[in-house]
Structures are given as structure tokens and as C-alpha cells.
Structure 1
Amino acid sequence: MIRIHVAEAELHALVTAHDHRWLDRARQRTADYRRQGRYVEGGEFWGDIKQVYIKLQHEKCAYCESRLAGHALASKVHEVEHFRPKSRVSAWPPATGKGAVGFVPPCAVGRASTRGYYLLAYHPLNYVIACTRCNSTLKADFFPVRGRRSTRASTPRSARAEDPLLVYPLGTLDTDPARLLRFDGVLAVPRRRRGGDHERARVTIEFFQLNHQDLTSRRARLLGALWLALRALEVPGMPEDLRQLQHQAIGQAQSDRAEFAACARDFIALHRSDRARADALGASALQLAAG
């Protein structure tokens, strides 16, 4: 997970440029929900600005960083995800099904609510694009919080007192995910050993199953290739054009556009600070990718 860089004013401008009526329609729909005191299903139009988020996120899932198909297939693989659920909030972890079944949270995670965050159903800073696995299968209508729920909040900023445990990666409402999570080879781990940031990291990792075999095997292919590229730079007498290509590949792996950029960045930083550990993880990733 990486931060998706955009200021609120910039996001509004992008939405307006894409659909000049969308923000006015959103304000009207929110006023309707305020009068009714709840979310009312029907006539939804958040999908009308899906392309704005696809572009901001470089066609990647906001949570697991999997690259999704391009704009032409957006309706099939990119899902507009409500960070705070719009109509209800279920108790997490789930007792059955998929996801973090059996996980014992390190802190309070909040109660279920028959009323969701209905006034945020059309707030641009309550959206990201997510893959079907992260959105429909895992996120669903869960939203763990340490404090008291603020389901009547009219902006995401005013709901921050509920102390959400999941990380919202878009913009600057929340902390940079890199301050909470890091990668030890292919595995996502908390950056802190204790405290609130440690708890948020543990919950986020378990919630989105960031160490699921499907993700770790794909990260292994990335790290194996990165490790070989880093080692190739040390070969004496390598032609300068090939050396530049290796540098380019290493740089591209760390780009916001790259799949699993956070994992690549942490591995390259480790390679600089602890070469022996990086070599061990790189060799392990190469074996995992081959197997």
C-alpha cells in the first residue's frame, strides 16, 4: 500500500473536469440522505467518476497494489470502494466466511451498526478503486475502529475521532501507509513493534490478507528480478548501456505506477542498509518464484 498523492481541492477539480455536474448532484443526494436520516438505495452514480480514481491510482488496487486491467475494462475489474461503508457496518472479524476469521485483534475494533456512514456515500474522499478481492470479498461492509463510531459525520475529517484502524491511502487525511507498514521480503509487517501504529498495521494486514499466498508469490517474482538486477550492477566490465537499463528497471519498480511499489522500495532500502539480509531474502524470493 502506498500513498496516493492528491489534495482535496485538486481532487474536486479532477472530478469537475470529468463531470461538471457530479459534485452538485452529490451535494443534493447527500441532502436527501440527511433529511431521511439514512442511506437509500437506488440511482447510484459514484461509478460516473471511476475513471478519476483509476488514473490517480495508476490502475492499481489502493490496498494490495495489484495492477488491474486498463480503462477499457474498468467496469469489470475496478470497483469504486467506499472506505467507510454507506448503509451498515458489520462486526469484524467475521465469524465465518473469508478474510480474518479467527484473528484476535490487538485492540477494540468497534461495534456493528445498522446505520452506515450515509452522509459520506457521495464524498470524494470516501472513495478509492479496489480489486474485487479487497473490496467485495474482504472489505464488504466492515470498518473496524478503536473509538466510538461517527456514523452521522458529514466529512471524513470530522469522523477521525473514531480512530479508524484501516489506513486510507488517498490524499493526506491519514498517515502515509509507509509509516505503518513495511515489507520484510515478500511479507507485509508492522513498522512499529508496539503502540497504536503497530495495532493499525496488524489490523490492516489481516483485514486485507496482505500476506495471502497469491500476493506473496507475485511479490516473489518482483523481488527475485530486482535482486538479480542489483547483483548485475556489480558485474565488472558491464557495458554502460546495459548498466543504464538495470538502473532504469530498478527505478521503475519503485515508481508509484509499479505494481507492489512499496515492497520494491523496502527491498531496495534494505539492500543498501543490510546487504546480507537482502541477499538472503532475494535468494529466497527467487526460489519461491521458481517453485
Structure 2
Amino acid sequence: MIRIRVGEAQLRALVTAHDRRWLDKARLRTAEYRRQGRYVEGSEFWGDIKQVYIELQHEKCAYCESRLAGHALASKVHEVEHFRPKSRVSAWPPATGKGAVGFLPPCAVGRASTRGYYLLAYHPLNYVIACTRCNSTLKADFFPVRGKRSTRASTPRSARAEDPLLVYPLGTLDTDPARILRFDGVLAVPRRTRGGDHERARVTIEFFQLNHQDLTSRRARLLGALWLSLRAVQLPGLPDDLRQLQQQSIAYAQSDRAEFAACARDFVALHGADRERADALGSLALQLAAG
């Protein structure tokens, strides 16, 4: 997970450039929800600005950083995810049994709500693009908070006192995910060993199953190739053009547009700080990728 760099004014300008009537329609729909005191099913149009988020996120899922299928298949594989659920909030799933996530949070997660965050259904800073697995399968209508739930909040900023446990990576409303999450090789781990940031990291990692075998095996392929590139640029006598290609490959792997950029950034940082540990993890990644 990486921060998706955009300010609120810039985001609204991008939305207007894509659909000049969208923000006005959103205000009218939100006013209707305010009159009703709840979210009401109707002709929804948040999908009309899906492309704005696809481009901001470089066609990647906001949570697991998997690259999606691109512009041509956007309507099939990209889902507009409401960070705060619009119509209801379900109770945290049990540790075992039906609907289990196999994880007991280390802190309070808030009560269920039949109301949901109805005034945020059309707020641009309540959206990201997510893969079907992270959005429909895992996120669904859950939203764990440590504090009192603020379902009547009219802006995401006014709801921050809820102290959400999941990280919202778009813009600067929330902390940079890299501040609380890091990667030890292919595994996502909390950056802190205790405290609120540790709890947020644990919940985010477990909730989105960021260490699922599918993700770790794909990260292994990335780190194996990245490790070979890091070793190659240090070879004496390597032709300048080949050295430059390897350096470009390393730089791209850490860029916002690259799949699993957070994992790559942490591995490159480790390679500079602890070569022995990086070599061990890079070798292991190659073995995992081959196996």
C-alpha cells in the first residue's frame, strides 16, 4: 500500500474536468440523503468518475497494489470502493465459523450500524479503486474504528475522531501507509512494535490478507528480479548501457506506477542498510519464485 498523491482541490478539479456536472449532481444527491436521514438506493453515478481514480492509482488496487487490467477493461475489473460504507456497517466478523477472517483485533473495532455513512456516499475523498478481492470479498461493508462511530459526518475530515483502523491511502487525510506498514522481504509487517500505529498496521494487514500466498508469490518474483538488478549494477566492468538499464529497472520498481512499489522501496532501502540481510531475502525470493 502506498500513498496516492493528490490534494482535495486537485481531485475536485480532475473530477470536474472528467465530468463537469458530477460535483453538482453529487451535492443534490447528498442533500436528498440528508432530508431522508439515510442512504436511499437509486440510479447511482459514482462509476462515472471511475477513470479519474484509475489514472491517479496507475491502474492498481489501493490496498494490495495489484495491477488491474487497464483502461480497456476498466468497467469489468476496477471497482469504486467506498472507504466508509454508504448504507450500513457490519459488525467485525468472527474469528472462526461463517464469515471468519481468522483474526481477533488487538483493540476495540466499533459497533455495527444500520445507517452507514450516508452523507459520504458521493464525497470524492471517500473513494478509491480496488480489486474485487479487496473490495467485494474482504472490505464489503466493514469499517472498524477505535472511537465513537460518526455516521452523520458530512465530510471525511469531520469523521477523523472515529480513529479508523484501516488506512485510507488517497491524499493526505490519513497517514502515509509507509509510516505504519513495511515489508520484510515479501511479507507486510507493522513498522512499530506497539501502540496505535502497530494496531492499525496489524488490522490492515490481516483484514486485507496482505500476506496471502497469491500476493507473496508475486512479490517474490518482483524481489528476485530486483535483487539481481541490484547485484548487477555493482559488477565491475559492466558496460555503461547495461548498468543504466539495470538502474532504470530499479527506479521503476520503486515508482508509484509499479506493482508492489512499497515492497520494492523497502527492499532497496534494506539493500543499502543491511546487505547481508537483503542478499538472504533476495535469494529466498528467487527460490520462492522458482518453486
Instruction: State how far apart, in whole Å, the 1-side matches of 2:139 and 2:195 are.
Output: 24
Partner residue, 2:2: 2
Instruction: State how far apart, in whole Å, the 1-side matches of 2:148 and 2:81 are.
Output: 22
Q: Which runs of 5+ in 2 are unaligned?
A: none
Deviation at 1:236, TM superposition (A): 1.7
Partner residue, 1:260: 260
Within-5 A mapping of 1:1-291: 1-94=1-94, 96-97=97-98, 101-291=101-291
Deviation at 1:82, TM superposition (A): 0.1
Instruction: State how far apart, in whole Å, the 2-side matches of 1:245 and 1:96 are.
Output: 51
Q: Deviations over 1:114-135 (max 9, x none)?
A: 1100000000000000000000
Q: Deviations over 1:186-215 (max 9, x none)?
A: 000000000000000000000100000000
Instruction: State how far apart, in whole Å, the 1-side matches of 2:124 and 2:162 are.
Output: 20
Return the TM-score normalized by structure 2: 0.98
Q: Deviations over 1:237-289 (max 9, x none)?
A: 11110000000000000000000000000000000000111001000000000
Deviation at 1:232, TM superposition (A): 1.0
Q: Deviations over 1:33-65 (max 9, x none)?
A: 000000001100000000000000000000000
Runs of 4 or more off by more than 2 Å in structure 1?
A: 93-98
Residues 246 and 275 of structure 1: CA distance in aligned 2, closer, same or farther (over 3 Å): same
Query: SS of the counterpart of 2:129?
Result: strand
Residues 127 and 244 of structure 1: CA distance in aligned 2, closer, same or farther (over 3 Å): same
Instruction: State how far apart, in whole Å, the 1-side matches of 2:48 and 2:97 are.
Output: 34
Instruction: State how far apart, in whole Å, the 1-side matches of 2:29 and 2:236 are.
Output: 65
Instruction: State how far apart, in whole Å, the 1-side matches of 2:87 and 2:183 are.
Output: 34
Q: Deviations over 1:126-160 (max 9, x none)?
A: 00000000000000000000011000000000000
Deviation at 1:101, TM superposition (A): 2.1
Letter in 2 for 1:257: R
Letter in 2 for 1:281: L
Deviation at 1:234, TM superposition (A): 2.0
Letter in 2 for 1:28: L
Instruction: State how far apart, in whole Å, the 1-side matches of 2:97 and 2:269 are.
Output: 39
Query: SS of the counterpart of 1:125?
Result: helix
What do you get for the CA RMSD once the two structures are aligned? 0.9
Aligned residues: 290
Deviation at 1:97, TM superposition (A): 4.8
Q: Which runs of 5+ in 1 are unaligned?
A: none
Return the TM-score normalized by structure 1: 0.98
Query: SS of the counterpart of 2:193?
Result: coil
Deviation at 1:96, TM superposition (A): 4.2
Query: SS of the counterpart of 1:104?
Result: coil
Deviation at 1:227, TM superposition (A): 0.5
Letter in 2 for 1:144: P
Instruction: State how far apart, in whole Å, the 1-side matches of 2:111 and 2:276 are.
Output: 45
Instruction: State how far apart, in whole Å, the 2-side matches of 1:96 and 1:82 are.
Output: 26
Quote the sequence identity (%).
Answer: 88
Deviation at 1:93, TM superposition (A): 2.9
Note if contact 2:101-2:207 (Cα within 8 Å) is conserved in structure 1.
Answer: no
Query: SS of the counterpart of 2:115?
Result: coil
Deviation at 1:180, TM superposition (A): 0.6
Instruction: State how far apart, in whole Å, the 2-side matches of 1:102 and 1:203 are.
Output: 11
Q: Deviations over 1:73-115 (max 9, x none)?
A: 00000000000000000011345456x6231111001111111
